[in-house]
Amino acid sequence: MTTLEGLPAVRRLTAWEPTRLESLAGEYETPLYVLDLDRVRENARRLESAFPDAEILYAVKANALSDALETLHEAGIGLECASAGELSRALVVTDSGADVHYTAVNPPAGDLDIAVEAWEAYPELTITAGAEDTIDRLEERGYDGRLCLRVNPGIGAGHHEKVQTGANAKFGVPAERAVDVLADAADRGFDVVGIHAHVGSGVSSDQLDAHREFVSRMGELARSVTAAVGDLEFVDIGGGFGVPYREADAPLDLEAVAEATREAVGDVDAQLTIEPGRYFVADAGVLLTEVNTVKDARETTLVGVDAGMTTLLRPAMYDAYHPIRNLTADTEADSSDGDRSRGTTAQTITGPICESGDVFCTDRELPESERGDLLAIGNAGAYGYEMANQYNSRPRPASVVIEDGTVRLARRRETIDDVTSVERES
């Protein structure tokens, strides 16, 4: 079993072995996602150590690669699914569905049909509803199983306004109406088992006060629900535990978060449930990309690479920072002759997409790039491939996983035929 002794709280991009990554790019080509499953396990152990009495679920939306799901399930981590597709993936690796939660937002009819069919096969599955309408729609489909209510606590936090969910009207039933909604659901025959809320994504240590207030509200609500409706099995406070993307940022003090959580939730006769996603996989992944163009522009040096916003969307969508490393320059600097050390210059790294927003960084000081150089983009294990798309009719990249020193292809590279095949089939 993996222990935490001697393991860093975060894996920085500088910790990846450049020659190993270069060999992967040579064998599997670029762009290429690389996921270290051993690091995923280490992150799972860290969460289990900080929250020893909690039920821990993995938010599948962070990285739904089957290898990641299997690795975490084998480590005793449950699976939280935001869509019918994620639910279908999760049920492939579970035995009973008892450790699977379906937590959709405004689920389409087809998704609800699939979820109810899954419940018929796996009656221990938990379905979380975020609207009274969703409860009605479940009842119409004959569902009277395990029901959790997503509530809106009126407080949000996270790394960007687009991922702060706790106060966004899209997410959950207003907390002040939760008792009445759950009492009605119980009267209608549903098996009411829990309440759920999620404050946001990428919560950092300096947002601990907001997290504490959010958890405190959930504890108060749980006590009110218990008094009015009956005992709950769990209180799910979501995930959102941040990881440091910038090199100078300190890792999240997970022990402090756990202690603050226990204090804030208070005396509740129900199990605490958490469902991180990013924390498991972000620093376990990198994206490899090759330089194809170096251009001196008026105000910057423009470096074009073969990955773009279709490969990694986060910088374009959230203005997110990802560390970038020139592996070729580092290998040259570390070589035995030692005479190929490059200078640094401010560079704008951009992809091949026909959009001005297709930029990974602007005027970042990096070793001078040359055509053919291999770059690594760090913290790409979360919301990397999951948000990849086929804009400009570009095929999505391949993915490999590393486990116990062995590399295997986990997802083949798409082709242009893959992009157009659904049109031909119609």
Residues tagged active-site: 354
Cα separation, 149 vs 181, in Å, equals 9
Confirm whether residue 80 is marked as ligand binding: no
Cα separation, 100 vs 78, in Å, equals 6
Radius of gyration of the chain (CA): 23
Q: Which amino acid is at 67?
A: D
DSSP 190-254: -EEEEEE----SSB-GGGHHHHHHHHHHHHHHHHHHHHHH---SEEE----B----STTSPPP-H
Confirm whether residue 318 is marked as ligand binding: yes
Region of 385 on the Ramachandran plot (φ > 0 left; ψ -120 to 50 alpha; else beta)? alpha
Confirm whether residue 277 is marked as ligand binding: yes
Cα separation, 4 vs 16, in Å, equals 19
Confirm whether residue 355 is marked as ligand binding: yes
The number of residues making up the chain comes to: 426
What SS3 state is found at 35? strand
The β-bridge relationship of strands 126-129 and 100-103 is parallel
What SS3 state is found at 286? strand
Confirm whether residue 145 is marked as ligand binding: no
Confirm whether residue 278 is marked as ligand binding: yes
Cα separation, 330 vs 415, in Å, equals 32
Cα separation, 197 vs 157, in Å, equals 12
Cα separation, 278 vs 284, in Å, equals 10
Rounded to whole angstroms, what are the CA distances from 33 to 324, 382, 409? 14, 11, 10
**Phi, psi (5° rounding) for residue 375?**
-105, 150
Bridge partner residues of 194 (DSSP) = 148, 234
Confirm whether residue 188 is marked as ligand binding: no
Cα separation, 355 vs 201, in Å, equals 26
Cα separation, 156 vs 153, in Å, equals 8
Binding-site residues from annotation for substrate: 278, 314, 318, 355, 383
Binding-site residues: 240, 275-278, 314, 318, 355, 383
Return binding residues for pyridoxal 5'-phosphate: 240, 275-278, 383
